[in-house]
Structure 1
């Protein structure tokens, strides 16, 4: 059972070395995540699971909780199809975004992916800047990004679109596919290897669930219609879920995101815009802002046409967003520390003698 979800000797060694290892604890993989429950795959089969009270107490943030793709250490409950999650095995990779809400908090979209398929449709949804945002998160995750341009049968300029995305994604494979016409399956073969986990991410309506059904030759996910005149569609996938597919690979389907809110992705930003970062190395001043400074190599590239203005605008926009996010995170962390210090001071200053009478 576990091998079908990617279990191997490396994970076995991590499990054997985990602290608090006991005979009644077994490994499992999180295959689906709901509001307060998880579905997991263990050697005894599929179980529903919840985290233990100790796990909840020790979790410092939302990202400390299990996510789809995590390997977990669980205790199956005798005579039931339920289990208790006690801890996580270390994550190899994790795609993270900023969670919805006014308080800065990270949310793990998926864990332990080998490859991340960034899906964008060749219809009205086609947007190179959107692909760049996903690439920032993908490089930060540690997984290998691949851009899939779906619905290629609806586009008359496929080669042009591929070239545009390749220019915006240096070093990243860019593949055009059509599930309807069964185009491009062979190009995906190098990534669909036994034991490998592929996560599929992108906006709603780009064809993620159709891609899953196509590669599995089965109706794994329900697919809803889309108005191709404006590329507006409804979310088909309502939760993240893992699917073991023929050929031995595992795919993770995720709900469509209207906008990917980036989180702590400085390294991913530099990797996604590596071409601009390389140009910046030739600037006269180390702290060049690529504005009005003399000897700016980035501005020179814009003037001679070797750097696209749209890409530079995207570079600046995401850079400002990440800097703003970092400031907000630091502010929240400082307030949290001050609040904790005040609570600690109140506890340590309290003494029963304060309430004694003569």
Structure 2
């Protein structure tokens, strides 16, 4: 038995998942998705399965139910000799990106629909490249991705990739990133020299699944190849002149590694909106939350209130102004998404009641 699909335990299948498998179906893990179809890995190999009618109805009611890479699926064998994707098993973890909120004179606006980027993930690698010594890491992007990682239920790990390019500036760069990621493991990685690759591999022991997130040009595909020990993903150099990355990976894909574990490579993410956020932002900004507990007033907004420990830390230099502004921005966005989500649920409930009322009225019409 190998990780190619003949033994599903290599892909993370266990008894608890088997208990939720509908009768008459067989399990498979989603490796890649397309419109209305998915590439899956089952016990008898790789298959291309179309979505069954029940699944299409579920997706129409809630886009979050759309199959995604990493999902465990229930397949039904059809008489014509092919599998159909009948249902998605309950997700243990889900990395959900919301519509991106935009700030205008009228306030926040945007899309409140969620998109599941990856499911049943154990580790979220947040990759931020160190392009050259004069560049600073995008700490705001790291904080945003970490908030979503915490909310997914997986364990986040920050990777400063291309570490070989910064030389003596690496320690100060790591210090800045560590301050933006309290309580999160941080590794400097170079897929070229091999620095940190084994530390990353250790997070994939057994059949653990990781997803690598970051901007285009962060070296995600190169890292996947280093972990696999062979070229399984196409890579490109960053553009000359501006150091920006090209989009090499154009789809999410589940990649079983020969030495154990699985990795989901993703396209570069330009915009990441929060979705159904409850604790993720608080965990990313645990330093601010700890300070807030010392404020004189329990409902302190940290704007101008007397006895505000957060403002005192800002004044003393203990808390960087950039970090406080980032916290305020993500708090506003999370609150906006929660309001939009409630409005969407209320509208859906109203629509369902109208359907029921119309049905009942038609049934008893003389």
Q: Give the deviation of 1:339 after TM superposition.
A: 2.9
Q: How far apart, CA to CA, are the structure 1 residues paired with 2:80 and 2:342? A: 48
Q: Of 15, 18, 42, which aligns to 1:12?
A: 15
Q: 1:2 to 1:32 in 2, by over 3 A?
A: farther
Tell me the residue number matched to 1:118: 126
Q: How far apart, CA to CA, are the structure 1 residues paired with 2:57 and 2:194? A: 49
Deviation sequence 1:12-47 (CA, Å, 0-9, x none): 3332344x412xx21110011112210000011000
Judge conservation of contact 2:91–2:120 (CA < 8 Å) in 1: yes
CA RMSD of aligned residues (A): 2.0
Listed as ranges, the gaps of 5+ residues in structure 1 are none
Q: How far apart, CA to CA, are the structure 2 residues paired with 1:50 and 1:125? A: 45
Instruction: Give the 5 Å matches for 1:92-107.
Output: 92-99=92-99, 103-107=111-115
Q: 1:76 to 1:343 in 2, by over 3 A?
A: closer
Q: Of 1, 8, 20, which aligns to 1:3?
A: 8
Tell me the residue number matched to 1:65: 66
Q: Give the deviation of 1:348 after TM superposition.
A: 2.4
Q: How far apart, CA to CA, are the structure 2 residues paired with 1:170 and 1:223? A: 31
Q: How far apart, CA to CA, are the structure 2 residues paired with 1:71 and 1:351? A: 41
Judge conservation of contact 2:30–2:39 (CA < 8 Å) in 1: yes
Q: Give the deviation of 1:275 after TM superposition.
A: 1.1
Listed as ranges, the gaps of 5+ residues in structure 2 are 1-5, 102-109
SS in 2 for 1:199: strand
SS in 2 for 1:183: coil
Q: Give the deviation of 1:150 after TM superposition.
A: 0.7
Residue 21 (str. 1) matches residue 23 (str. 2)? yes
Instruction: Give the 5 Å matches for 1:48-63.
Output: 48-59=48-59, 60-63=61-64
Q: 1:339 to 1:90 in 2, by over 3 A?
A: closer
Tell me the residue number matched to 1:245: 257
Q: Give the deviation of 1:216 after TM superposition.
A: 1.1
Q: 1:261 to 1:2 in 2, by over 3 A?
A: farther
Instruction: Give the 5 Å matches for 1:217-236.
Output: 217-227=229-239, 229-236=241-248
Deviation sequence 1:94-133 (CA, Å, 0-9, x none): 1110147954211110011111110010025831111000
Q: How far apart, CA to CA, are the structure 2 residues paired with 1:228 and 1:170? A: 34
Q: How far apart, CA to CA, are the structure 1 residues paired with 2:363 and 2:74? A: 42
**Number of residues of Structure 1 aligned to a counterpart in Structure 2:** 348
SS in 2 for 1:292: coil
Q: 1:192 to 1:343 in 2, by over 3 A?
A: closer
Judge conservation of contact 2:137–2:177 (CA < 8 Å) in 1: no
SS in 1 for 2:57: helix
Q: Of 132, 139, 142, which aligns to 1:128?
A: 139
Tell me the residue number matched to 1:168: 180
Tell me the residue number matched to 2:107: none
Normalised TM-score (structure 1): 0.91
Q: 1:344 to 1:306 in 2, by over 3 A?
A: same
Q: How far apart, CA to CA, are the structure 2 residues paired with 1:140 and 1:78? A: 42
Judge conservation of contact 1:34–1:239 (CA < 8 Å) in 2: no
Residue 76 (str. 1) matches residue 87 (str. 2)? no
Q: How far apart, CA to CA, are the structure 2 residues paired with 1:55 and 1:192? A: 31
Q: Give the deviation of 1:353 after TM superposition.
A: 4.9
Q: How far apart, CA to CA, are the structure 1 residues paired with 2:240 and 2:151? A: 32
Instruction: Give the 5 Å matches for 1:131-150.
Output: 131-150=142-161
Tell me the residue number matched to 1:40: 40
Q: Give the deviation of 1:277 after TM superposition.
A: 0.7
Tell me the residue number matched to 2:191: 179
Tell me the residue number matched to 2:361: 349
